[in-house]
């Protein structure tokens, strides 16, 4: 009697069990197929790239090479845009970069380059905020002022260069280089080759003293080699050898 009841119960629930099993199998198959599709670079490749931004020192090929150098670019679904951004930020001229994916196979790259303001210690470049970036100086498209100083002083030296540019503008001279020595003494070279020795103290007063003196030496400016302002008052003017009177 019990055996007959069990068989009847089994026949009653068998279709439901088979249907449930079928649903589970189909669901697993769908999951596996979806994962396979998402990770198959042949089916869902990132095959197109749109690059935007003002590119002066890098090229679109540089950007493509940086991405191609990654271990795996992945597919549209699997690629982490943060990794793409990190790869592009390794390029020395890139200051900021934004990467977005566009269905089904495109990545959009927006690039902001560093703006070179001056060279630093004859080895690297600083931007307008005085931040050093390690791009080759040979990439510069035009001459830049040369700044020198201790490793952490780039912002201070650049700020002083900006100040001098404004102060010397009425004199029709520009600053070719600014140096801060290890002893914190300032030296400035003008575009006409004159070297200013400002020392480490009373910097602003000495700059003002030079401005007043230079206005009086206008007719002799081409003969000046250096002006030493490291005095409480006055200055010492050094003349070029050919202009020294016997």
With helix as H, strand as E and coil as C, how does 41-97 read? CCCCECCEEEEECCCCCCCHHHHHHHHHCCCCCCECCCCCHHHHHHHHHCCCCEEEE
Shared-domain flag, residues 230 and 169: yes
CATH number at residue 92: 3.10.20.310
**Alpha carbon of 13 to those of 5, 9, 217: distances in Å?**
12, 6, 110
Shared-domain flag, residues 133 and 201: yes
pTM value is: 0.75
pLDDT at position 15: 62
| Strands 186-190, 224-228: pairing kind | unpaired
Q: Which residues pair with 224 in a beta bridge?
A: 239
Shared-domain flag, residues 203 and 177: yes
Shared-domain flag, residues 93 and 130: no
CATH number at residue 223: 3.40.50.11690
Torsion of CA 8, 9, 12, 18, to 10 degrees: -120
CB 228 within 8 A of CB 236: yes
Q: What share of the chain is helix, strand, coil (3-state, %, to 5)?
A: 40, 25, 35
Parent domain of 122: 118-243
Question: Average pLDDT of the chain?
Answer: 83
Shared-domain flag, residues 78 and 149: no
| Spans of the chain, pLDDT less than 50 | 1-2, 33-41, 43-44, 245-246
Shared-domain flag, residues 220 and 142: yes
Q: How many CB atoms lie within 10 A of CB 22?
A: 10
Shared-domain flag, residues 142 and 73: no
Number of domains within the chain: 3
Shared-domain flag, residues 228 and 123: yes
CB 146 within 8 A of CB 122: yes
Contacts of 221-229 with C-beta under 8 Å, sequence gap 24+, read: 221/192, 221/194, 222/192, 224/194, 225/193, 225/194, 225/195, 226/194, 226/195, 226/196, 226/197, 227/194, 227/195, 227/196, 227/197, 228/197, 229/196, 229/197, 229/198, 229/199
Shared-domain flag, residues 196 and 133: yes
- Residue ending a domain, choose from 59, 93, 113: 113
pLDDT at position 211: 95
pLDDT at position 81: 80
Shared-domain flag, residues 17 and 71: no
pLDDT at position 11: 60
Shared-domain flag, residues 154 and 212: yes
Shared-domain flag, residues 19 and 104: no
The pLDDT tens digits of the residues spanning 187-214 come to 999 999 999 999 999 999 999 999 999 9
pLDDT at position 207: 97
């Amino acid at each position: 009697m019990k055996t007959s009841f069990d068989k009847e119960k089994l026949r009653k629930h068998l279709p439901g069990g088979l249907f449930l099993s079928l649903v589970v199998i189909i669901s697993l198959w769908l999951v596996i197929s979806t994962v396979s599709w998402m990770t198959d670079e042949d089916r869902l490749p990132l095959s197109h790239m749109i690059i935007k931004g003002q590119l002066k020192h890098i090229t679109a090929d540089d950007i493509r090479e940086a991405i191609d150098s990654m271990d795996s670019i992945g597919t549209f679904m699997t690629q982490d845009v943060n990794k793409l951004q990190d790869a592009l930020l390794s390029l020395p001229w890139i200051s900021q970069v934004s990467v977005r994916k566009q269905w089904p196979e495109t990545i959009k790259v927006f690039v902001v380059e560093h703006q070179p303001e001056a060279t630093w210690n004859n080895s690297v470049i600083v931007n307008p905020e005085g931040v050093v970036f390690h791009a080759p100086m040979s990439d510069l498209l035009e001459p830049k002022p040369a700044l020198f100083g201790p490793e952490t002083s780039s912002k201070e030296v650049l700020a002083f260069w900006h100040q001098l540019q404004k102060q010397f503008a009425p004199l029709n001279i520009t600053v070719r280089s600014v140096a801060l020595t290890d002893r914190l003494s300032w030296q400035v070279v003008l575009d006409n080759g004159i070297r200013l020795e400002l020392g480490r103290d009373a910097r602003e007063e000495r700059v003002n003293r030079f401005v007043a003196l230079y206005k009086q030496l206008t007719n002799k400016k081409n003969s000046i080699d250096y002006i030493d302002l490291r005095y409480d008052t006055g200055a010492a003017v050094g003349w070029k050898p050919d202009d020294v009177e016997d």
